[in-house]
Amino acid sequence: MFLTIGLLLASAGLIYLSCEIFVNGVEWLGRKLDISQTATGTILAAFGTALPESVVTLVATAFSDDDAQRQIGIGAALGGPLALSTVAYGVVGVCLLVYGRRLGRGPHAFIEVNGNRLSRDQAWFLGIFVFKVALGLLAFSVKPWLGFAFLAAYAGYFWTEMRSKTEAEEGELAPLRLRPRDKCPCLGWILLQTVLATAVIFIASRIFVSQLEAVGPWLGLSPQVTALLFSPIATELPETMNAVIWVRQGKERLALANISGAMMIQATIPTAFGLFFTPWLLDRTLLVAAGVTSLSIVFLFLAFRRGKVSGAMLSQVGWLYGIFAIVALIVH
């Protein structure tokens, strides 16, 4: 037990430190490639942290002969968006409250956000998400071919974000960690730092997930319930850590963009893998997860449409994950 707790704490700390290095590298990469700061969050940062999870889903669905492992892959495709839309945004809200006090902001003080862009992302996500849930209720022969539609949807999102106009940057860009004395480090050093940080995040996340699964039996939970409740939070920990770091640095736009971009990846790429290699049929618990996710997205869409949000407002979506946990335990 003590070894498990020690590994949990050590891997969580390693994820946080690696995310510090990752966000520094990915910001430099965005500047070097002349990409807008928002696109740096929605595309570069999101791709770096969500790609390992997508690979795990691919392995579970395509290269496993065990139906249980394939079901875990399907669950990951639903659990990731659930954790991001509730826990990750809720953590951003709490961080805005904590760090806002240091800046003299009250708990209900609003910060300006790109409301049109963020609300558009939520609307697109909700449309894609509802479609993929609907597919989970039906069985028909051509369903696997629809996986290409989800890949095309992300390609369209990627193209739109990369063509977005450059806006004024938030905060200051710290020196590259590998070359702190270089005012303009070369692309090779930037890529090396970003790739190494991503690799460490991936390895530490796998350790964190494996140790977290061992906690379930201590709480009297079955492996299935443990994976359903804890694994999504663990796998989305890097995105959440990135958001915490950027809010702490006063870069709220990057924090929100990173989560938004990660949600678009989770809504499309893992779903495509699930459609290609599994029957993609959802059980009752996954439908509960889908319902809670949709409710959270509707709340976020209405909040972002106003063009400004507060920490108190965003922190409320975190409670929805608790509601899901209670309902999931009852259903299971």
Q: Which helix (H) or strand (E) holds 308?
A: strand 308-310
* Cα(83)–Cα(89) distance, integer angstroms: 9
How is residue 112 annotated by DSSP?
E
Contacts of 111 (CB under 8 A, 6+ apart): 96, 105, 252, 308, 309, 310
* Cα(55)–Cα(82) distance, integer angstroms: 19
The torsion region of residue 217 among left (phi > 0), alpha (psi -120 to 50) and beta comes to alpha
Rg (CA), the chain: 19
pLDDT < 70 regions, the chain: 52-53, 56, 60, 64-69, 72, 103-108, 165-171, 213, 216, 221-228, 332
Q: Are 297 and 125 in contact (CB under 8 A)?
A: yes
Q: Are 100 and 109 in contact (CB under 8 A)?
A: yes
Q: Are 166 and 34 in contact (CB under 8 A)?
A: yes
Q: Are 89 and 255 in contact (CB under 8 A)?
A: no
Residue burial 7-38, b: 16+ Cβ < 10 Å; e: rest: bbeebbebbbebbbbbbbbbbbbbeeeebbbb
What is the number of other CB atoms lying within 10 angstroms of the CB of residue 165? 7
pTM metric for this prediction: 0.87
Q: Taking the CA atoms of 189, 154, 144 and 229 in sequence, report the sign of the dihedral they define.
A: positive
For the record, the structure tokens of 272 come out as: 């495509």
For the record, the structure tokens of 17 come out as: 């430190």
* Cα(115)–Cα(124) distance, integer angstroms: 14
Angle at 97 between CA 94 and CA 103, to 5 degrees: 145
How is residue 175 annotated by DSSP?
P
Environment class of residue 130 by beta-carbon count within 10 Å: exposed (0-12), middle (13-18) or buried (19+)? middle
Name residue, tokens 């940080």.
197
What pLDDT score was predicted for residue 272?
Answer: 92
Phi, psi of 70 (to 5 degrees): -65, -35
What pLDDT score was predicted for residue 68?
Answer: 62
* Cα(7)–Cα(220) distance, integer angstroms: 21
Q: Are 21 and 199 in contact (CB under 8 A)?
A: no
